[in-house]
Structure 1
Amino acid sequence: MSQQEKMIEELFHNAEELTEKQKKIVAAAIDSFAEKGFAATSTSEIAKKAGVAEGTIFRHYKTKKDLLLAIVAPTMAKMIAPFVIKDLNKVLNKEFENVEEFLKAMIENRAQFLKNNMPLFRILIQEIPFQSEMREQFKEHIAQKVFERLREMVEHYQAKGQIIEMPPVTVIRVAASVILGYILARYLLVPEGEWDDDREIERTIQLLMNGLSPGKYKEDLNL
């Protein structure tokens, strides 16, 4: 079984409300949208991959966008949310002595998750900027829940004096931007580059800690 087949199987693990045909259509749509993008994917291609007649897709959904928004987007949001959060909780539920250890575990966890679920990640990156409905569902089912857990972690390390006292949302935004930048470059933009992963992760953590450590920046930021 390929990595993508394992991903689809796990996504559908708690999707009893979907018929077998719906599962095939959603799996085919995820595969095609990830490979070619929403605009370049035809419903006939999705139907062929799913092994169903094209009319089956349009029985309830008049356009390709209806398929994306009414089947794929809600299914992704509802199924990916526990999938993402369960995986992330492997880090969030563990005790780390210091914030550097936490950041290292977070980067390694997210990098592995992306490698294992590249098709879903490609769809999110490609479509969320242009599909407001998908963006709202992503926010509702994933972002808000993840943010609350991350806020607790930031406040925990601030209480230990390991992170500068600034609004947690700022700390999360800065850290997420740096970590996501590394992961995007490593696995999506230039995966063929000569990467020393251990050293690159250490540099990423060093860069973050230079900005997040309390001390000399406190007076400058007037906090």
Structure 2
Amino acid sequence: MRSKKNILQAATELFAEKGFSATSTSEIAKRAGVAEGTIFRHYKTKKDLLMAITMPTLVEGVIPFLAKEFAEEVFEQEYPDFRAFIEQLIRNRFEFARENGKLLKIYFMELMYHSELRAQFSDIFMTHVKDKFDHVIDYYKGKGELKNLPNSTIMRALITNIVGFMITRFVVMPDAEWEDEREIEFTIDYVLTGILK
């Protein structure tokens, strides 16, 4: 089992550094300290190895993030206003991204190329999050805090900006000098008010 753990660790590192397509199984074997054939004893194809890395992240990380724990931590709380809700949403996901940076990098790099990953992500979102998100949006529309835009438009604007921030921070520019607290505040501000003066 140690060789399997070494293979997963080596593949995670190399996929994060070079991407799935640019990484060969011989490179993974070399970094893992095993023969290349050992990889194929555990995984039929390189894509099976990718799924072994990303699917547990979905099952153990993203599903709790999108489901019960996430709902309890974010969606099932009371907030004085919509800004407080957005702040909690961003801070909650920021900590998740900080703890899972390499896996998120692999996941987002490969999401566009593997339909299995897209289907899994879509299913998780539709099953565990969409209704709760709709409820929150309807609540703050009712309080007069949000424009009367379609819920899907509001949701898309929020998700695009928040996920974009996380990808830039932890995937595209993880080694830049970030002032995380300021960036979180800036993100909240422009999500809610835009970027025009």
Q: TM-score, normalised by structure 2?
A: 0.78
Q: What's the CA shift string for 1:172-194, capped at 9, x where partnerless? A: 10011222233333344345555
1:136–1:23 CA distance, 2 compared to 1 (3 A): farther
1:106: Cα distance to partner?
1.4
Structure 1 pair 84/26, CA: closer, same or farther in 2 (3 Å)? farther
Structure 1 residues 73, 160: CA separation in 2 closer, same or farther (over 3 Å shift)? same
The match for 2:114 among 131, 151, 155 is: 131
Is the 2:104–2:171 contact (alpha carbons within 8 Å) kept by the matching residues of 1? no
- CA-CA distance at 1:142 after TM superposition: 4.7
Alignment of 1:134-213 (within 5 A): 134-142=117-125, 144-191=127-174, 193=176, 195-210=178-193
Contact 1:81 1:142 in 2 (8 A): no
> Where does 1:71-86 land on structure 2 (aligned, <5 Å)?
71-85=52-66
Range that drifts further, 76-85 or 129-138: 76-85
Which runs of no fewer than 5 residues in structure 1 stay unpaired? 1-18, 212-223
- Equivalent residues of 2:11, 2:28 under 8 A apart: yes
Q: Describe the SS at the equivalent of 1:39.
A: coil
**Aligned counterparts of 1:38 and 1:56: Cα–Cα separation in 2:** 19
Cα distance in structure 2, aligned partners of 1:168 and 1:141: 18
Question: For the structure 1 residues 100 and 32, does the alpha-carbon distance in structure 2 shift closer, same or farther, using more than 3 Å as the test?
Answer: same
**Structure 2 unmatched ranges of 5 or more:** none
Deviation at 1:46, TM superposition (A): 3.0
| Cα distance between partner residues in 2 of 1:66 and 1:193 | 33
Tell me the matched-pair count: 192
- C-alpha RMSD of the superposition: 2.9
**SS in structure 2 opposite 1:40?**
coil
Deviates more, 1:51-60 or 1:88-97: 51-60
TM-score normalised by length of structure 1: 0.70
* Kept in 2: contact 1:78–1:141 (CA 8 A): no
Between 1:57-66 and 1:155-164, the stretch displaced more is 57-66
Deviations, residues 55-114 of structure 1 (Å, cap 9, x unaligned)? 232136443124324x33443332333343366332223221111011111112222221
Aligned counterparts of 2:64 and 2:79: Cα–Cα separation in 1: 23
> Which whole-Å deviations, capped at 9, do the CAs of 1:129-165 have from their partners, x for residues lacking one?
1111222122223564233332222122222222222
